[in-house]
Structure formats: C-alpha cells, structure tokens
Chains A and B, each alone.
Chain A
Amino acid sequence: MKDEKPPGKPAKPGRLNAEIQSRIGHQLRAMYDDVVRQGVPDRFADLIRKLDTPEGELAAKKDGRE
C-alpha cells in the first residue's frame, strides 16, 4: 500500500509542533496580558461611576444592605 508509515518513525514533527504551539500560546498571552496589566483607564472608571447612579442605590447601601 502507499502512505503506510513505518512503525519506527521518530516522533519529531509532533514534538516540534508541541514546542511551537506552546510558544505561540505564550506570545498570545504576553500580548494580551500586557494590556490587561494596564488596569482600568480613568475614562472608563469615570464613565461607569457617573452613569446611572440612582440616589436610592446609595441610600440602600448606607442602610447596611450589601
């Protein structure tokens, strides 16, 4: 038959591939985490704080409700 792989074939391609995949995963996370580490820029903190702050919500919190 054609394409029958010899049983003793070294597993090099698989190992290389696993190394490359782990490297890609690392680079992807490094790129992503670089941004995550910047935290929350003021513009977004302000936006969320200002928007829709009903007085009742604050009063309820003072009453000891979580």
Chain B
Amino acid sequence: MPLTDSLRNDILASVPSLRAFAISLSGNGDRADDLVQETLLRALANIDSFEPGSNLPAWLFTILRNLFRSDYRKRRREVEDAEGNYAKTLKSQPSQNAHLEFEEFRAALDKLPQDQREALILVGASGFSYEDAAAICGCAVGTIKSRVNRARSKLSALLYVNGAEDFGPDETVRAVIGSGNR
C-alpha cells in the first residue's frame, strides 16, 4: 500500500519497541539504532509489499530480525562490550543492587542460543502471540514454543543456581549449570 500519513504514524509508533527488540537481540545500543534505521529504510522502500490491514509491527519485526541475522553472520557480536553499551542506553541509572541484578540477567540472556533468545523476547517481552512470533522467525508454532521453554529453563539454571537442587537431575539443566556458571 502507499505510504499514507496514518501508515507513517503507525511506523513511528513501532519505533520504541523496534529499538527494544534490537537492543535485546544485539546487546549493543549503538548498533541497535543502526539496525532500526536500516529496518525503517527498508520498510519504507518496500512499503508497497505491505498488505493493508495486516500486522504492521510483525512485518517490521520480521525485517529487523532478518537484517540482524544477515549482519550476525558477517560479524560476531562483541559480548564483552555489550553490557557497558547497553547500560549507557538506559535513561535512569538503576541502584547498585538492581544494576548488578540487571547485568546478571543481561549476561545470562547473552548466553542463550540466538534462536531461543529471539523467541523468548518476542513472546515474553514484545507481547507477540506464538503464532506471530512463528511468522516473524519463519518457523512452526511448536518450534517457537519449545524454544521459549528451553530459553526459560536455561535462564532459571543460569540465574537461580542456588535453588537448582529443587529442579531435579535434568541433563540440560546440569549441562548449563556446569558450563554457564563462572
């Protein structure tokens, strides 16, 4: 459809969540904004292929996700740099304790495989349905569900190891605890 003012406003309204998605994926504020910019340029250039009435955020997220993926293949993300850069993008500096907890969470999220991380973010933070998340990632709904579940159990293992004796002897959890804990 042509780029009407109302469509332009809708795209603008999606920018905050596109940025949040990009930062969650890349862990790097500067790079995330470049990714958002590229996404917007590509969306505007291909606006004719957007079907009126279909899910605009999902369409934009798909573009961003694909850009991130193709970019990812080219250059590996610099994990050491991620936390510091992300912290800089925060408006209010969290308190010392909250900040520590936040960094631990960010670090654990970074340890997830990319497939699981993106599925968890789309469903758990962006608020997409499993169906929309599956469409964005180009996979089956069941695949998204199992990625989200695996992501959640890995995060529990990484973040809450002290309570892990209650998890029982699960192989995956054990492997993650063994490899992921410093």
Residue B152 is within 8 A (CB to CB) of chain A in the complex: yes
A45–B44 contact, CB under 8 A?
no
Query: For A40, what are the chain B residues with a Cβ–Cβ distance below 8 Å?
Result: 12, 15-16
A-B contacts counted at CB < 8 A amount to 101
A43 to B105, CA, bound (A): 29
B4–A57 contact, CB under 8 A?
yes
Residue A41 is within 8 A (CB to CB) of chain B in the complex: yes
A21–B152 contact, CB under 8 A?
yes
A24–B159 contact, CB under 8 A?
yes
With contacts A20-B160, A24-B155, A32-B125 known, is A13 near B167, CB below 8 A?
Answer: yes
Shortest Cβ distance from A38 into B: residue: B91
Complex interface bits, A28-54 against B, C-beta within 8 A gives 1, otherwise 0: 111111111111110111011101100
Partner among B152, B166, B167 whose Cβ is within 8 Å of the Cβ of A24 = B152
A55 to B3, CA, bound (A): 12
B40–A44 contact, CB under 8 A?
yes
A52 to B5, CA, bound (A): 11
Report, as a range, how many residues of chain A touch the other chain: 35 or more
Q: In the complex, which residues 3-42 of chain A have their Cβ closer than 8 Å to any Cβ of chain B? A: 12-13, 16-17, 20-21, 23-25, 27-41
A34 to B102, CA, bound (A): 12
- B residues near A (Cβ < 8 Å) are 3-6, 8, 11-12, 15-17, 19-21, 23-24, 33, 36-37, 40-41, 44, 89-91, 101-102, 105-106, 109, 120-121, 124-126, 152, 155-156, 159-160, 163, 166-168
Enumerate 12 A-B pairs (CB-CB under 8 Å) in ascending A order: A13-B166, A24-B156, A31-B105, A31-B106, A33-B125, A34-B90, A38-B91, A40-B12, A40-B15, A44-B36, A49-B8, A66-B6
